[in-house]
Amino acid sequence: MWKGRFQQETSALLQQYSESISFDWRLWRHDIAGSIAHSAALEKAGLLTPEERAQIVAGLQEIGAEIEAGKFSFKSELEDIHMNIEAELTRRIGAAGAKLHTARSRNDQVALDLRLYLRDEADALAAALRAMQRALVALGARHADVIIPGYTHLQRAQPVYFAHHLLAYVEMFDRDRERVLDARKRLNVMPLGSGAIAGSTILLDRELIARELDFPAITQNSMDAVSDRDFAVELLSALALAAVHLSRLSEDVILWASSEFRFITISDAFTTGSSLMPQKKNPDVAELTRGKAGRVIGNLVSLLTTLKGLPMTYNRDMQEDKEPVFDSVDTIKAALAVFAAMLDGISANAVACAAAVADPMLLATDLADYLVNRGIPFRQAHEVIGKAVALCADKRCELPDLTLADYQALSPAFTADVFACLSVATSMNARQAIGAPSPQNVAAQLARWQAALR
């Protein structure tokens, strides 16, 4: 379809190397939609008769139905989805089909198709992120009274509600959703009519095409329109960060499900066994998700690296944009779906969680706050409680086992009520600041998210 200038057949080796139909076939819906809209502009410009346009639309719809039914035969020698559809259309309807490519290039055609595809996928990804949030909130609500140790440096730090920990990820995934939808705004711009680089001397109504395809805006520079893949990078960046959040949640799930923690039990439906050790129950969903996150991050780096050295405008290197885009979209959608389903089957082990949170050292900071409330500067209070912890190590006891005399030897600010603050319930009730995990705050946040996600 472009060989008028060439006198030799294309090498079979090059055809195999350069084809993209093996992966860009999935753009067929968007390519057909773009071609139908383009034909409307050609008709308005007087370049197609109403009869010719009707032939084109009917032919494209027929081809689309065959592709959807799995009955269409793609040809690698036609390189890509655009040429496969156009060539078949021309074969079926003749001259009218040959007119369809008037005033457009594969450069602006592929830019359009990719934007249409990612617009649809952004909506699907936003919905998948919402489903993930619902699963996290539901898990937290089922175990609203469970308290676990919070960790810093993977060392027990302070007590938190299990639901509070899960709600941290709800916040993360909400930012991911906002980033996806924000990226959608910038990709929702119509590039068709930019031609190969400099538009066309044939004037088409680009605003008509934009209306046909529900684009609120039109690209304003033809060179930028055909070379821009910022919109794809931006969405891949949002997905890479979502992958990082999924990976961090996976790490928590893996630890919590281990025999050492025993904080949660994952249903048999979302775990696997060992081919050798019959006792094993492995958290494969979390492990696979943690592993797949690397691929999604790599896809972002791959696309950035492809683009970084390209001169204006379109270069064939840009064919390499689609596989990382498709892979990231597919991977994140699959990970969100299976993870949300797994969360629905997780239960918290209240006894193991209670045993872990009974560690009195989790309340060391509460003791420092006790001294601060009695006029001791925090740095001095921190040092005093550090000495109390060291004394416990020497005496092989816990903080509640120290005597009042022990405490008063460290600071005269201690009185008999010091032991009242060495209670997890007291500690949790005292955490009333916005964003802190008091029982009232956690209940309010669960209710807020349940309403927002309803």
Catalytic amino acids? 153, 274
Q: How many CB atoms lie within 10 A of CB 316?
A: 8
Q: SS3 breakdown of the chain: % helix, strand, coil, rounded to 5?
A: 70, 5, 25
How many alpha carbons lie under 13 Å from residue 358 in its C-beta half-sphere?
6
Other C-beta atoms lying within 10 Å of the C-beta of residue 447: 12
Pairing of strands 147-152, 155-161: antiparallel
- Quote the CA–CA distance of 162 and 137 in Å, as a whole number: 11
H/E run at residue 393: helix 378-395
Q: 119: which 2 tokens?
A: 């617009």
Question: For 183-318, where are the E strands, in sequence order?
Answer: 189-190, 217-218, 264-265
CA torsion angle for 208, 211, 216, 221 (degrees, to 10)?
Answer: -30
- Per the structure block, which two tokens stand in for 303? 């696309």
Q: What's the Rg (C-alpha) of the chain?
A: 30
> 3-state class of 151 per DSSP?
strand
Using DSSP, state whether 422 is helix, strand or coil. Answer: coil
Residue 186 region, left (φ>0) first, then alpha (ψ -120 to 50), else beta? alpha
Note whether 108 and 221 are within 8 A (CB).
no
Beta strands in 209-278 (DSSP E): 217-218, 264-265
Half-sphere exposure of 327 (CA within 13 A, CB side): 17
Q: Is 33 helix (H, G, I), strand (E, B) or coil?
A: helix
Distance separating alpha carbons of residues 132 and 108, to the nearest angstrom: 36
Residue 161: beta bridge partners? 147
